Structure 1
Amino acid sequence: MDTNRPGPPDDDRLAQRRGPLAGVVVLDITRVVAGPYCAMLLADMGATVLKVENPSDPDYARGFPPFAGTARKSAFFTQFNRNKQGITLDLKTDEGRALLRALVRKAHVLIENFRPGTMEKLGVGYDELARENPALVYTAISGFGRTGPNSSRPAYDNTGQAAGGLWSMNGYADRPPVRVGTIIGDLSASLYAALGTLAALREAERTGRGQVVDVSQQDSVLSMTENAVVRYTLEQDVAGPLGNDHPFVRPYGQFPCKDGHVFFGGYTDKFWRLSCQIFGTPHLADDPEIDTMDKRFSDAVYTRRILPILDQWFLPHTKAELEQMAGDRVPLTAVKTIAEVVEDPHIAARQMIVDVPVDDRMVRMFGNPVKLSGLGLPQMGAAPDTGADNAAVYGALLGLDRAEVDRLRAAGVL
């Protein structure tokens, strides 16, 4: 990090930032999830993240349910924007663009998730901003990336799932494909963007030169298709929906029990033999029709022999009973509802449900899955109101007094 560059704004909330990224200033010019989540992960690890919103068109995720507190603020928005400072800036104005350039001179990272070319049209693309700060790490998240014939296309999370091939693989073979039940295109792009940002930041600290981190939702989703690419390139086998089955190992999937379902992955000879012992059928481990992985994978044998055995093992027991019986010895896990996960003692021990202020309430939401031994539990500050920190940030970073901030606000720049 350039130790000669001014640090974060000197107000109470920012001065208390701690963690490995303390002192790193991030301009977060993103909205919804693909981008805000990336910036939030950096904020959780101590970076000073400035959430930059258009004063007349703020992040519309502020209107996403559920809502909390007397002011009915969005817990969804908070979940992806906690620990940030809020400022406003209209990049369509000359003064707004000038202010962004001034902020860039004080920052280490800028994250944006506009359609490629938008920042350039505004006159504040990477080439322009790098002239203000050659060490700037410029992270751009988009549907299709900054290069290639589709780069200018609009995109949402479902775009990434569709274009990356994952949608076509999800669901059941006898039904139309089903989207993955979460915004995996947005989330995976944010994770890769955070990784790329940290790599580029390390390089900038070493050389004094920044660069563009270009992350696409399509690329991110494609990288999560497991063996589908090599199956196609080697064997021309086009992956399709398999439901809860696996393309080359069995048993490995979801199976019914007394009060729901469990995941069971006892496909290796070692785990199969252990399972036979645990469930009181040790003789099955030496049954010549099902004693090897290859034999158990056969469609006919799996349907006629293995599935009835699994029903015999699992149906008399609850999820909790099965985990108690076998979970410490073989891969057997309850298929849990979100309610069960939130109340899971192991999740609590991992500090993965944290209390975050939303208006006048504390709301439980997911924490940060990255556990650093030197950090402890990251701070969990509220998400900022739109432009709530204009005076503090513009005063500390750019030296603007209250009268100038008020003038810019009245002019629609802030």
Structure 2
Amino acid sequence: MTGIADAVGTRGSLDGVIVLDVSRVVAGPYCSQILADLGATVIKVENPRDPDYTRTFPPFMNGDPDGFSAFYAQYNRGKQGITIDLGTAEGKQVLRDLVAKADILVENFRPGTMDKLGVGYSSLKEINTALVYTAISGYGQTGPLSRRPAYDNTAQAAGGLWSMNGYPDRPAVRVGTIIGDLSATMFGVIGTLAALRHAERTGVGQLVDVAQTDSVVAMTETAVVDYTVSGKVAGQLGNQHPFVRPYELFPCKDGFVFFGGYTDKFWRITCEMFGQPEFADDPEIDTMTKRFVDEVYERRVRPLINGWFADYTKAELETMAGDRVPMTAIKSMDEVVVDEQTLAREMIVDVDYDELGTLRMFGQPIKLSETPATPARKANQVGEHTDSVLEHIAGYSESHIEKLREFGAI
């Protein structure tokens, strides 16, 4: 174990924790990747004949469609890569031998898949009673829909988020990122760490059951209580907020900004900033409640703000607002990557891939003062560390490893 940890330079908060990542695509791999960033030794398990298919997702380093996927690299950095064919008896035994030494296993197959293979939680917990088994799926391990196939869009649709996004006079619009996967990732990490804490204290592991759909429901802000308390069904609001204004996108000279000056304090500062302090005391728009009224907002507040912003660029408006009122340029990704705050927070990291060049990808948003994360690391090639993992963790001899290759188990 020490040899493996030294090889990837792990000395973070989770140093010494061994994670088996049997997942693929995003929700599971990103969950284990966060654990890797935080110091865990994460072993990426792939089928030798059917590896994680995000290896085929663009963009590719050096622009070679047969080359290394930057998509894969971003969600699998810092992991040890091994291959195991769980369809073989020998491959199943390899996984069981690794489970005996592991602390966590992460998988995101459809419920029942691992059980069919004979390596589900009920089987593996007999080998390691302290094992934390994190299962991320579309609908969860229980319920009438648990066996249905699901993707990110499934969760956005079934969890209600899709119906809330977009403009009221147009069809609903999916959120522009894989929020079903990403929210399940975050809840998966939280659940895994909570279960690990319990296992370390008691020696008893558990199943961590996280559903994409559940995760999306938990991301819908006030929509659930709006309905259960008042019968109001959340709809599409475009860029507006359901109960505060102004709090949306506004045009300016060279693009758009987010302006959130909805409180009376911020409204007064903004009026003064644009040389019209009298509007802070205008009896029609002098309070938050009055400014939120649809007719008043569209007739008085929006035109006023549009007029103020029209002659200024995004940068000028941000500079004017400074620390006084919430004003943020709507930035495209090319602007985000070079933004001074993004760089100051080390949210863009550079990883040297030798002859493939340098990959720039997002960093780790969790900042720890004593045990900082280490996100700037390479992702594994298929089966790259099979021999070293099986030697150091499973305790296999060279001859045993060679026989497993002959059997096609690894």
TM-score, structure 2 length as denominator?
0.97
1:395 and 2:391 matched: yes
Residue in structure 2 matching 1:283, options 278, 287, 292:
278
Count of aligned pairs: 407
Partner residue, 1:68: 61
Q: Moved runs in structure 1, 4+ residues, more than 6 A? A: none
What is the DSSP-based 3-state SS (H/G/I as helix, E as strand, rest coil) of the residue aligned with 1:364?
Answer: strand
Letter of the structure 2 residue corresponding to residue 398 of structure 1: A
Structure 1: tracts of 5 or more residues without a match: 1-6
Residue 357 of structure 1: how far off its partner (Å): 3.3
Partner residue, 2:380: 384
Please tell me whether the aligned partners of residues 391 and 401 of structure 1 are also in contact (alpha carbons under 8 angstroms): no
Matches of 2:212 and 2:354 in 1, distance apart? 32
Q: Can you list the C-alpha shifts for 1:160-200, whole angstroms capped at 9, x where unaligned? A: 10111000000000000000000000011011100110000
TM-score, structure 1 length as denominator?
0.96
Partner residue, 1:33: 26
Q: Can you list the C-alpha shifts for 1:240-292, whole angstroms capped at 9, x where unaligned? A: 11000111111110000001100011111111001101111101101111101
Distance 1:11 1:253, change over 3 A: closer
1:181 and 2:213 matched: no
Matches of 1:328 and 1:11 in 2, distance apart? 44
1:296 and 2:329 matched: no
Residue in structure 1 matching 2:211, options 209, 212, 216:
216
What's the C-alpha RMSD, in Å, of the aligned pairs? 1.3
**Alignment map for 1:6-405 (pairs within 5 Å):** 7-10=1-4, 12-14=6-8, 16-69=9-62, 72-358=67-353, 360=355, 361-376=357-372, 378-405=374-401
Q: Can you list the C-alpha shifts for 1:378-403, whole angstroms capped at 9, x where unaligned? A: 15221101111011010111222333
- When structure 1 is superposed on structure 2, of 93-102 and 68-77 the one drifting more is 68-77
Partner residue, 2:403: 407
Residue 411 of structure 1: how far off its partner (Å): 2.0
Letter of the structure 1 residue corresponding to residue 387 of structure 2: A
Residue 358 of structure 1: how far off its partner (Å): 3.9
Partner residue, 1:3: none
Letter of the structure 2 residue corresponding to residue 120 of structure 1: D
Structure 2: tracts of 5 or more residues without a match: none
What is the DSSP-based 3-state SS (H/G/I as helix, E as strand, rest coil) of the residue aligned with 1:230?
Answer: helix
Distance 1:359 1:238, change over 3 A: farther
Matches of 1:96 and 1:8 in 2, distance apart? 24
What is the DSSP-based 3-state SS (H/G/I as helix, E as strand, rest coil) of the residue aligned with 1:186?
Answer: helix
Distance 1:365 1:379, change over 3 A: closer
What is the DSSP-based 3-state SS (H/G/I as helix, E as strand, rest coil) of the residue aligned with 1:35?
Answer: helix
What is the DSSP-based 3-state SS (H/G/I as helix, E as strand, rest coil) of the residue aligned with 1:115?
Answer: coil
What is the DSSP-based 3-state SS (H/G/I as helix, E as strand, rest coil) of the residue aligned with 1:398?
Answer: coil
Matches of 2:398 and 2:130 in 1, distance apart? 30
Please tell me whether the aligned partners of residues 255 and 261 of structure 1 are also in contact (alpha carbons under 8 angstroms): yes
Letter of the structure 2 residue corresponding to residue 34 of structure 1: A
Matches of 1:401 and 1:73 in 2, distance apart? 31
Matches of 1:254 and 1:11 in 2, distance apart? 47
Q: Can you list the C-alpha shifts for 1:182-227, whole angstroms capped at 9, x where unaligned? A: 0000011011100110000000000000000000000000101001
Partner residue, 1:4: none
Matches of 1:34 and 1:296 in 2, distance apart? 41
Please tell me whether the aligned partners of residues 30 and 111 of structure 1 are also in contact (alpha carbons under 8 angstroms): yes
Q: Can you list the C-alpha shifts for 1:60-114, whole angstroms capped at 9, x where unaligned? A: 0000000114772000100000000000111111111111111000000000000
Residue 404 of structure 1: how far off its partner (Å): 2.6
Letter of the structure 1 residue corresponding to residue 304 of structure 2: I
Matches of 1:402 and 1:32 in 2, distance apart? 31
Q: Can you list the C-alpha shifts for 1:23-44, whole angstroms capped at 9, x where unaligned? A: 1000000001010000000000
Please tell me whether the aligned partners of residues 12 and 373 of structure 2 are also in contact (alpha carbons under 8 angstroms): no
Residue 141 of structure 1: how far off its partner (Å): 0.1
Matches of 1:147 and 1:405 in 2, distance apart? 38
What is the DSSP-based 3-state SS (H/G/I as helix, E as strand, rest coil) of the residue aligned with 1:73?
Answer: coil
Please tell me whether the aligned partners of residues 81 and 382 of structure 2 are also in contact (alpha carbons under 8 angstroms): yes
- When structure 1 is superposed on structure 2, of 68-77 and 291-300 the one drifting more is 68-77
Letter of the structure 1 residue corresponding to residue 22 of structure 2: I
Q: Percent identity?
A: 62
Letter of the structure 1 residue corresponding to residue 30 of structure 2: Y
Residue 11 of structure 1: how far off its partner (Å): 7.0
Matches of 2:367 and 2:27 in 1, distance apart? 22
